[in-house]
Structure 1
Amino acid sequence: MRLRTLLVAIGLCAGPVSAQDLPVIVADSYPMAFLAETLVGDAAEVRLVVPEGRDPASWRPTLADIVEIQAADLIVLNGSGLTDWSTRAALPRSRTVDTGRGLESDLIATDTITHSHGQEGSHSHEGVAPSTWLDLGLAIRQAEVLARAMTRALPNAPVADNLTRLSDDLRELDAMGDALVDGAAIPVITSHPRYEYLGRAYGLQVTSLDWTAGDVPDASQLATLRTFAEETGAEVLIWEVAPPPEARASVEALGLAQAVIPPMSTKPDTGDFLTGLRAGLADLAEALDTVD
């Protein structure tokens, strides 16, 4: 309670960022930053509060970060349990947009899973799968929620036109996903538990491993993968990042096709949200074709 009171007081003292040349929008995750940047164009400065390369699900803001977030003209959250700090940071309601509001009936319940995020350490996902944007239909609805809030906050920004173009791009990706499977759901294995919405939206029956991105799986991990493949009939492994050659060869030796679909929770080294997912869906389509 004392921390909450302190954060409220600091937020009130900081005030809105009126001294900036442009209004400031902060986003709690890369997908939300991408949507905001695309919708607002040059009419505002969009800041991603999560440091580069850090996972938004496990990153925790410092007091200085909270002050910056509270002072923004608009605060954009993915919602759906992605950033639990946002429920404790006394964010100004009138300037906060939860793009997950209205998606409650479409959220996927999960068991409690504790796993590693590299430098983030161990982290538990409990209750709801947070990566809603991997269902492009849900991403469109999140963009629409954000567009309505931006239109009120920034009436001179070309939000309506940008929303039309963004929705068209997202629908193109959605159609790529729909084309992956023709008929009954296809079992696949993923290297990390991030793909619940992708699977449900596009006909994939997902079984998740908990491998650290970029590492070479050891003998025990490969044995688990073999067991999962035998139990589910899966013939494809989806990596969250491009694996080392040794890792790819080990999986190939098990007779599995492979694809890389970045979960897009962090900003890619090249390209953006659209190009990253487009490449990932194309890679998966190619892998599925080899096992038909």
Structure 2
Amino acid sequence: MAKNWVAGRRGPGRGPRGGAAVVVLALLAALAGCAAPAAGGGDGSRPVVLTTFSVLADLVGRVGGDRVEVVSITKPGAEIHGYEPTPSDLVRIHEADLVLDNGLGLERWFERFVRGLDVPHAVLSEGIEPVDIALGAYEGRPNPHAWMSPVQARTYVDNAERALAELSPDDAAYFAARADRVRGELRGLEERVREGLRANPGAALVSCEGAFSYLARDLGLREHFLWPVNSDAEGTPRQIREQIAFVKEHRVPAVYCESTVSADAQERVAAETGARLLGPLYVDSLSGPDGPVPDFITLLNHDLDLILEGLDHAP
């Protein structure tokens, strides 16, 4: 199988902390002097494509099909913003044939983690016009959650197709056909939700984390949230007061929280305003094979269904 490695950009980031950092950096130094592993990692029959979290793994797997082995560093249900890599993660990265991450500043723990390793790397959000975070510790930095919009997710598919075709040119037509199917599914999702929003132009989407900025921009929603990024302070009294005021002022019928964080603060908002608390919404992680969102398309369908359900009760 022919290979043509993919070069990606790496920005500044923060690495693992504490004792884990010492172990990881020591292992990094040891592995850097080793011979490169045999192509394919795993069992050697297919190239191994490593992604940073489960949502990306499923999206890439939909394009790669049975021609690649796609794995995620983090497990379903994990909080990815503050993830701390382990020495075994470093070994997996070193043995991969291709590493794909989200970019847009999401995996600050990851960028330093792979620095110095000779691993082919591509960024799936490359080419997306970022929405900047408007407040908090990361004000002015790109909001990383572009995959939550079916419009922007098509760029992820484009980048995955390109990276896989460069990894295995002989399979380019196979990847292109599968990518076309995924892009078609995403267009169908976009059309469905646009139709559902026609009766409620400018409706508000009120969440715990500000993870829906791209969805709001692309579909004409107003967005309000308790905190901009999960690693920020979560559910402070001020955040709760401001959310309550917004919900009351705009008579928002439903509010939401995400699966990887506590809904306690949003429960207070619902109790004070009379809004329904729906959810959870899934953003940073799939649920696992037996859960409600075992794959990326189901995740988007699940979240968009809940958003439209909330609008059904608009005054």
Cα offset, 1:288, TM superposition: 0.4
1:162 equivalenced with 2:178 (yes/no): yes
One-letter amino acid matched to 2:83? W
SS in 1 for 2:126: coil
Closer, same or farther: CA 17–129 of 1 in aligned 2, 3 Å: farther
Is the CA contact 2:209–2:258 (under 8 Å) kept in the aligned structure 1?
yes
1:149 equivalenced with 2:163 (yes/no): yes
SS in 2 for 1:238: strand
Cα offset, 1:50, TM superposition: 1.3
Residue in 2 that maps onto 1:10: 31
Distance 2:117 2:152 in 1: 25
Distance 1:67 1:11 in 2: 11
Indicate the percent of aligned positions where both proteins have the same amino acid.
22
TM-score (norm 1): 0.80
Distance 2:30 2:135 in 1: 35
Is the CA contact 1:188–1:235 (under 8 Å) kept in the aligned structure 2?
no
1:264 equivalenced with 2:288 (yes/no): no
Superposed structure 1 runs of 4+ greater than 6 Å apart = 2-6, 217-222, 242-245, 247-250
1:173 alignment partner, one of 163, 183, 189:
189
Closer, same or farther: CA 252–241 of 1 in aligned 2, 3 Å: farther
Closer, same or farther: CA 288–50 of 1 in aligned 2, 3 Å: same
Cα offset, 1:250, TM superposition: 7.7
User: Could you list the per-position Cα deviations for residues 53-86 of structure 1 after superposition, in whole angstroms to 9, with x for gaps in the alignment?
Assistant: 2222221323431232132111111111110133
Distance 2:135 2:34 in 1: 39
Cα offset, 1:232, TM superposition: 4.4
Q: Map of 1:30-69 to 2, 5 A cutoff?
A: 30-69=54-93
Is the CA contact 1:28–1:78 (under 8 Å) kept in the aligned structure 2?
yes
Distance 2:29 2:194 in 1: 45
Distance 2:139 2:243 in 1: 22
Closer, same or farther: CA 87–263 of 1 in aligned 2, 3 Å: same
Cα offset, 1:234, TM superposition: 2.9
Distance 1:230 1:281 in 2: 23
1:251 equivalenced with 2:276 (yes/no): no
Distance 1:96 1:249 in 2: 43
Q: Map of 1:17-32 to 2, 5 A cutoff?
A: 17-18=38-39, 20-32=44-56
1:240 equivalenced with 2:258 (yes/no): yes
User: Could you list the per-position Cα deviations for residues 213-253 of structure 1 after superposition, in whole angstroms to 9, with x for gaps in the alignment?
Assistant: xxxx99998655432313444333122239989x8698267
Gaps of 5+ in 1: 115-123
Q: Which has the higher strand share?
A: 1
Closer, same or farther: CA 8–97 of 1 in aligned 2, 3 Å: farther
Distance 1:50 1:107 in 2: 24
Is the CA contact 1:257–1:291 (under 8 Å) kept in the aligned structure 2?
no
One-letter amino acid matched to 2:283? M
- Pairs aligned (count): 276
One-letter amino acid matched to 1:255? G
User: Could you list the per-position Cα deviations for residues 61-119 of structure 1 after superposition, in whole angstroms to 9, with x for gaps in the alignment?
Assistant: 2343123213211111111111013332226677211112222xx101114536xxxxx
Residue in 2 that maps onto 1:95: 120
Residue in 2 that maps onto 1:287: 310
One-letter amino acid matched to 2:130? L
Distance 1:204 1:190 in 2: 12
Distance 1:111 1:222 in 2: 17
Closer, same or farther: CA 84–159 of 1 in aligned 2, 3 Å: same
Closer, same or farther: CA 280–251 of 1 in aligned 2, 3 Å: same
Which is worse superposed, 15-24 or 236-245? 236-245
One-letter amino acid matched to 1:87? E
Closer, same or farther: CA 244–262 of 1 in aligned 2, 3 Å: closer
Distance 1:263 1:244 in 2: 13
Closer, same or farther: CA 111–220 of 1 in aligned 2, 3 Å: closer
Cα offset, 1:4, TM superposition: 7.5
Closer, same or farther: CA 52–14 of 1 in aligned 2, 3 Å: farther
SS in 2 for 1:188: strand
Cα offset, 1:37, TM superposition: 0.8
TM-score (norm 2): 0.74
1:204 alignment partner, one of 216, 221, 224:
221
1:228 equivalenced with 2:251 (yes/no): no
One-letter amino acid matched to 1:34? D
One-letter amino acid matched to 1:28? T
Cα offset, 1:194, TM superposition: 1.6
Cα offset, 1:184, TM superposition: 4.1
SS in 2 for 1:226: helix
